Structure 1
C-alpha cells in the first residue's frame, strides 16, 4: 500500500483531526513524508482539511474512497471490495477475477471510469470519469436453477430503494433492467454468468450496475440526450457523495439478495414498473411484437394477453388501453 493510501485510510477512519506527528508516529514515517502524502491526496481530489497546531481531517467528497465505502456498510456484511481509477469494464474485470478464484465471498469491483462500458446487446455505456457509478458484483452461484431475470429485477429494486432512501426520489422501472427518474434512464443493470468449463455449469454470476450520478447530459451524443437522465440536480441539492450512495446500494442489494429466489419483492417491482394493463411494442432479436401486458410473473417475466411469456426484450413503446 502506498504511503498516501495508508494516510488516507487513517484519516478516513478517524472522527477527529489527526496531527501530522500522530500520523507520522502511527505509520513510522517522517513529518515530511506525511505532508507529501497529504498534498498527493489533495491533488487526487480528496478533501483533506487542515488546522494549524491541530492537524488534518478527511471530509467525504465525490472522489471514490474504498475505506469510506467499507465503513458505511452494514456490520454483518462480508465482502471484498476493489476500486480502480479506470477499467475497460467492471463486468469484464469481475469475470476475469472470477476465473481465478473459488472464493464464496462476494467481490465488488468499482471503477471511476470505464473505457469500454457496455449494456445489454453489448451497446456502449458511456462512462465518463469522476461523475458516474460503475459497479459490478461477483457472486458464487449456489443454485442449479439460476434465474437471471429474478436477480435482475431484485437488483432494480435495490437501486430504487437506494434512490428513495438517499434522495427521496420516486423512481420507476422500465422492464426489465432500466431505472428511470423523471421518465429518463439514469441506471442500467446487466447480469452475466461465468461457466465452469469442466462441469459446464454456471459457477458464478456478475451483476453490473451503471448509474449517471453527477454526469452532465451534454456528455451524451445528441441522439441520446432526450432519453438519458442524470441524478446531478438531486445529488447536489442533498450533498450526497458517491461513496455514501454506493454503500447504501450495497447494503440494500445484499439485504434483498439473501432471499431473492423467493421473489418476495415482486409486488414492489410491479408497483415501480407501470406496464400492467398497457399496450406495448417490444423489440426482440427475432423482430418486434405488440401486445397488452396483463401481468409480470413471479420471475420478472412479462405475461401478455396472447398467452406469451417474455423473459427478455426491450419495451420501445407504451400506450394506454
Structure 2
C-alpha cells in the first residue's frame, strides 16, 4: 500500500483496509523500518514510504510498462546462493510468463566457466527465467541483446556511456561494471531448449573497497553516477527490464546489432580469444548477424573469452 502511492497514508486508513488495529499497523511499520524500509511518520498525515534502493518489487513494477507489470513474476531475496541457480531450480515447473529473480547479495555467485563472482550487498544481481516457445536459441544474439539493453539503460538513466566487450561484459573506463551469463534449460526427452536463464550482475552501488583485493584493480562501479542521477536500484532494474523486453521481442532478427556494433570497443583492434584450450588471435573487423565476432582472416567465432586487446 505504501509503495503504490506517493501520498501519506494514515494509520487509520491502513487499519481499515487491512481490518486490523492501529496498534498492529504501528508494530508492522516498526518491523518494516527495522529491516531497512524507509518509512517516515508525518504528524497528522500518516506514513509515507521513500525508495532508498532497498529491493522492492512494488516499486519496480510501478516503473514498468503496463504490459510488463502484468506479465512478469518476481521473487526477491536479501541473500541467496545465486539467482541463476534459483532460476534453474524454478525451471522444473513450466512457466508461461517470464520470472525475475533478484537478490541484494549472493553467497555463491558465478560467471562464465563457473568462476566465482563477488556479490556484495548494494548491487544488482538479477536473473530472468524465460520460456522458449520456439525451442530454438541463438545464444550469441541473446547475450548481445542483453548487453545492449543494459548499456542503453545506463546511458538513458545515468547519463554515461559504457563500452561493450564482446560478448558479455560492460566496461567503464576499462573497468568491468556488468557481467552477463546466458544458460539454456534443455528438455532431455525432446532434446530442445525449453527455457533460458539470463543472469545479469551490475556493480550499481559498489564501493570498490568492499571487493576482494584481487578484483579491485579491474572492477568499476556505477555508484557515483547512480547517486548523482538519484536513480534507485528499483528504478534502474525497471529501466533494464523495459529496455530488455523491448529488444527481446525481435532479437532473433538481429536488428539491434548496429547499435551494439557502435558500442563494441573490440572492433578494429587486435584480439586474442580463448576458446577452451585453444587461443585464436586476429584483427576484429565486425560482429555478424548471429552475434559472432569476425576476424580479418574470415573466421566467425561464436563463443570464447577475449583475453588480450591491442591497438592495431
Residue equivalent to 1:142: 133
How far does the alpha carbon of each residue in 1:141-170 deviate from its partner, in whole angstroms, 9 at most, with x for none? 122431011000000010001101110111
CA distance in 2, matches of 1:38, 1:46: 9
Choose the corresponding residue for 2:77, options 75, 84, 92: 84
How far does the alpha carbon of each residue in 1:43-63 deviate from its partner, in whole angstroms, 9 at most, with x for none? 111111111111000111111
Residue equivalent to 1:53: 44
CA distance in 2, matches of 1:220, 1:313: 26
After TM superposition, the structure 1 = structure 2 runs for residues 193-208 of structure 1, keeping only pairs within 5 Å, are: 193-208=184-199
Choose the corresponding residue for 1:121, options 97, 109, 113: 113
Q: What is the Cα deviation at residue 38 of structure 1?
A: 0.8
SS at match of 1:233: helix
Q: What is the Cα deviation at residue 35 of structure 1?
A: 0.6
Q: What is the Cα deviation at residue 34 of structure 1?
A: 0.6
Q: What is the Cα deviation at residue 295 of structure 1?
A: 1.1
Residue equivalent to 1:93: 86
Q: What is the Cα deviation at residue 275 of structure 1?
A: 1.8
Residue equivalent to 2:95: 103
Gaps of at least 5 residues in structure 2 are none
Residue equivalent to 2:247: 256
CA distance in 2, matches of 1:96, 1:158: 26
Q: What is the Cα deviation at residue 221 of structure 1?
A: 2.2
Residue equivalent to 2:165: 174
Q: TM-score, normalised by structure 2?
A: 0.97
Residue equivalent to 1:29: 20
CA distance in 2, matches of 1:226, 1:15: 41
Check the 8 A contact 2:135/2:194 in 1, yes or no.
no
Residue equivalent to 1:244: 235
SS at match of 2:214: coil
Q: What is the Cα deviation at residue 15 of structure 1?
A: 2.2
Q: What is the Cα deviation at residue 290 of structure 1?
A: 1.4
How far does the alpha carbon of each residue in 1:93-134 deviate from its partner, in whole angstroms, 9 at most, with x for none? 11110112x2220111111111100010111111112x1100
CA distance in 1, matches of 2:135, 2:99: 21
SS at match of 1:85: strand
Q: What is the Cα deviation at residue 137 of structure 1?
A: 0.5
Q: CA RMSD in A?
A: 1.1
Check the 8 A contact 2:271/2:310 in 1, yes or no.
yes
Residue equivalent to 1:212: 203
SS at match of 2:66: coil
Gaps of at least 5 residues in structure 1 are 1-9
CA distance in 2, matches of 1:295, 1:237: 35
Q: What is the Cα deviation at residue 252 of structure 1?
A: 0.4
CA distance in 2, matches of 1:103, 1:38: 34
CA distance in 2, matches of 1:36, 1:184: 45
CA distance in 2, matches of 1:276, 1:143: 32
CA pair 303-59 structure 1, distance change in 2 beyond 3 A: same
Residue equivalent to 1:316: 307
CA distance in 1, matches of 2:147, 2:163: 9
CA distance in 2, matches of 1:289, 1:259: 31
